[in-house]
Structure 1
Amino acid sequence: MSERGALRARLELLAREVAKFGVVGAVGLVVNIAVSNLLWRYTDIPTVRAGLLATFVAILFNYVGFRYWTYRDRDKSGRTRELTLFLLFSAVGAVIETGVLYAATYWFGWDTPVQSNVFKVLGIGIATLFRFWSYRTWVFRALPAKESALSPAAEEPARAAGPVQVPGPAPAAVVRVEADTARR
């Protein structure tokens, strides 16, 4: 495959991944905003705490969407590791998101319902950039590329040579291009 064709395939895969991430994120955004507004309207929980609680509800929803739809073709062997990293990076995203709401509420005094929603969405947008990068890089890792099958004649020397050295996983984009090419 030419360099241009490989680049195009990588960009198509990335566009598909961004679109799926965006759909799950958009539904998570609706969950986050709905829970925030319900808490702001019907409870006495302070603005930032209610926003943080809503963020954690959305994080749980998003994990299910990312694991079983967006990244369903990714490595599933280390679920404990995956969930731990997901929660860690989600917590960092929650700090980013809540930090924006906190600054607007307590530093600038912008705490009307409309202002709170605007800064909640702004914080979610900034945190989403971090989450996309961290989830695809560290949490939902690509599966290693499948090696092409050796011909029967080539198998004997390979067995006689001793243990096979398996290289570490290639970067996600390379692995996905190879997997995509193999299907054609």
Structure 2
Amino acid sequence: MALIDSVRQHLPVKYRELAKFLVVGGTSYVVDVGLFSLLSHTVLSDKVVTAKGISVIVATILSYILNREWSFNSRGGRERHHEAMLFFVVNGIALGLNLVPLAVSQYIFGINTANYSSLTVTIANFVSANVIGTALGMAFRFWAYRKWVFPEELNPHPEIVATELAAQAAVEAPVTERIPEQPLRSDTAEYLPGAGRSRS
């Protein structure tokens, strides 16, 4: 908890929502991969497609709950059933976007075992699917969640509100309160009108 509190203190407020989203994405990914590995090596060893479908559905449901209750808990604006439907639609589109780089690598650039070595194809597939595709899908999800699934800011962050109030108070404060008077220096007093009269 100390590490999380330290990161929260130093991370600007506007990036905390993104950081939470990335944590949820990582958690869902681990659940997806872990559950798929468990099912495909036990009760569904002969039905790996079914195992993957179950793991994806469970991970997506977990992702919705964590994003709803944690990442975007200050956003909303839709009824829950409408919100959940849009969430799953967005994730379906994101899954398609995730597959685009892999398809481009395989079918447009022709990086497959017919043209390249197995090692080259493995590296290309990993980069296109797990690096570029994942980044593309996550960027779309974050934008779409804020745009369509959780479109309205319901409860502004307290730190943002406090900063805005302080800035507004500074603007509305009288000039005399914002610029304190400087004491008159003795060497300057000699040149002021009437300053030399006291000597005579």
Report the TM-score when normalising by structure 1: 0.57
- Tell me if 1:70 matches 2:71: yes
Total equivalences in the alignment: 142
Higher relative contact order (CA 8 A, sep 6+): 1
Q: Is the 8 A contact 1:96 1:126 kept in 2?
A: yes
Q: Partners of 1:87 and 1:136 in 2: how far apart? A: 14
Tell which structure's C-alpha radius of gyration is larger.
2
> In 1, are the aligned partners of 2:74 and 2:154 still within 8 Å (CA)?
no
Q: Shift of residue 71 of structure 1?
A: 1.0
Q: Which residue of 2 aligns with 1:142?
A: 152
2:95 and 2:54 mapped to 1: Cα distance?
A: 10
Alignment of 1:108-123 (within 5 A): 108=112, 121-122=130-131, 123=133
Structure 1 unmatched ranges of 5 or more: 1-10, 146-174
Structure 2 unmatched runs, 5+: 1-10, 167-200
Provide the aligned C-alpha RMSD in A.
4.0
Q: Which residue of 2 aligns with 1:25?
A: 25
Instruction: After TM superposition, give the deviation of residue 103 of structure 1 in Å.
Output: 7.5
Q: 1:104 to 1:40 in 2, by over 3 A?
A: farther
**Distance (whole Å) between structure 1 residues aligned to residue 165 and residue 144 of structure 2:** 28
Query: How far is the alpha carbon of 1:63 from its aligned partner?
Result: 0.3
| Residues 7-61 of structure 1, C-alpha deviations (whole Å, 9 max, x = no match) | xxxx9333111111111111111112212333444423356x7545433321111
CA distance in 2, matches of 1:142, 1:130: 18
Q: Per-residue deviation at 1:82?
A: 1.0
Q: 2:137 aligns with which of 127, 130, 133?
A: 127
Q: Which amino acid aligns with 1:121?
A: N
Asked whether the 8 Å contact 2:28–2:59 carries over to 1, the reply is yes
TM-score, length of structure 2 as denominator length: 0.53
1:95 offset after TM fit, Å? 2.2
